[in-house]
Homo-oligomer: A and B are copies of this chain.
């Protein structure tokens, strides 16, 4: 049933090496012979067997993308960007998520060993000893997304969250006269949350804004929990004339709705800003002032780096930092420079 290179060779009255040459180094084969071979190929609908080819070339043209989770727009956009670029570069994309409890070693072993994938892009939301050990074992081209791991040599794609947070909070402070800012983040161990919280502490300190322990909240990046928190806190926040910096748009939406439910309005009674600029950001009323994170570009960049390294394994490790952009809408209560 499957048509092999031999079948093509027979039909074109040549040897398999000639067929192979037509397929690869097309130049050194006679015009006429090539034509015969080519028509034989299309007549038979032949296409080379990936396994045989992989066995010889030690290349699968498959790239692996490992994500911490497959929930939410953030990840799906990363996938989308990665997939698009991979196809442009002639690669296939294999996707997996690190299932809860699993530190991903099982997965990465499964995917990365055996030579199945030519390279691996891994996004980690939490760096610990186990993930580090896992990553150390990977011997194929590796790029780490959104966080880099000390002691492991690899390329990485990060987003410049710091600049984003700074721009966002400065805007809140300078243009919106915020005198107090509440932080609503994800888990304390989450890389992004850590970075955003650090930047938050810096900016507030610089501006002489006091931050008490009760100003920092660690949730789970979800709308519902943010809404619940909001229901309990918005009145107090509003009374203290605070603004809310939520570490993602969904939580910001939850806070806004909680304020509304409490009879308060955003931004008048309680300014709220988000992060990521996902679709949610334009689905709230008022629409969210937030920071645009180039999600799909992250995926694409990861694939780029991977392919570069595959082609040139000696290239020194690169750390690519993607820029973020402040997007001012209505939820912060300031006249906007950028409208979008």
Q: Which residues of A contact B (CB under 8 A)?
A: 1-2, 47-52, 54-55, 60, 62, 70-73, 75-76, 79-80, 83-84, 87, 92-97, 99, 107, 109-111, 113-116, 139, 223-224, 250, 253-254, 257, 260-261, 279-280, 282-283, 285
Determine the main DSSP class of A at the interface with B. Answer: helix
- Whether A92 pairs with B96 at a CB distance below 8 angstroms is yes
Given A70-B79, A260-B285; 4 other pairs, CB 8 A cutoff: A1-B139, A47-B109, A48-B114, A55-B55
**B-side contacts of A95, CB under 8 Å:** 79, 83, 93-95
Cα–Cα distance between A51 and B115 once the two chains are bound (Å): 8
Chain B: which residue is nearest A1 at the CB level? Answer: B139
**Do A76 and B83 touch (CB < 8 A)?**
no
A35 to B95, CA, bound (A): 35
B residues in contact with A75, CB < 8 Å: 76
Q: Out of B47, B79, B113, B115, name the residue touching A114 (CB < 8 Å).
A: B47
Nearest to A62 among chain B residues (CB) is B94
CB atoms of A115 and B50 under 8 A apart: yes
Report chain B residues within 8 Å CB of A94: 62, 92-95
B87, B110, B115, B261: which contacts A49 (Cβ < 8 A)?
A: B115
Complex CA distance for A280 and B281, rounded to whole angstroms: 12
Name the residue in A76, A250, A285 with the highest tally of chain B Cβ atoms < 10 Å from its Cβ: A76
Complex CA distance for A95 and B73, rounded to whole angstroms? 17
Residues of chain B with a CB closer than 8 A to A250's CB? 279, 283
A-B contact list, 11 entries, CB within 8 Å = A49-B114, A50-B51, A50-B116, A51-B60, A51-B115, A70-B79, A76-B76, A87-B99, A92-B111, A94-B95, A280-B283
Partner of A283, one of B80, B83, B111, B223: B223
Q: Are A51 and B48 in contact (CB under 8 A)?
A: no
Which single residue of chain B is at the shortest CB-CB distance from A79?
Answer: B70
Taking CB atoms, residues of chain B closer than 8 Å to A2 are 115
Q: Which of B72, B97, B110 is within 8 Å of A83, CB to CB? A: B97
Q: Is the Cβ of B83 less than 8 Å from the Cβ of A223?
A: no
Q: Which of B80, B92, B139 contacts A97 (CB 8 A)?
A: B80
Chain B contacts of A257 at CB under 8 A? 283, 285
A83 and B70 contact, CB distance less than 8 A:
yes
Chain B residue numbers with a CB within 8 Å of A60 are: 50-51
B50 touches A52 (CB 8 A): no
Measured between alpha carbons, how far is A99 from B115 in the docked complex, in Å? 28
Rounded to whole Å, the gap between the CB of A326 and the closest CB of chain B is 21
| Chain B residues, Cβ within 8 Å of A260 | 285
Residues of the B chain whose Cβ atoms lie less than 8 Å from the Cβ of A282: 223-224
Q: Which residues from chain B contact A55 at a C-beta distance below 8 Å?
A: 49, 51-52, 55
Closest-CB distance, A242 to chain B (whole angstroms): 22
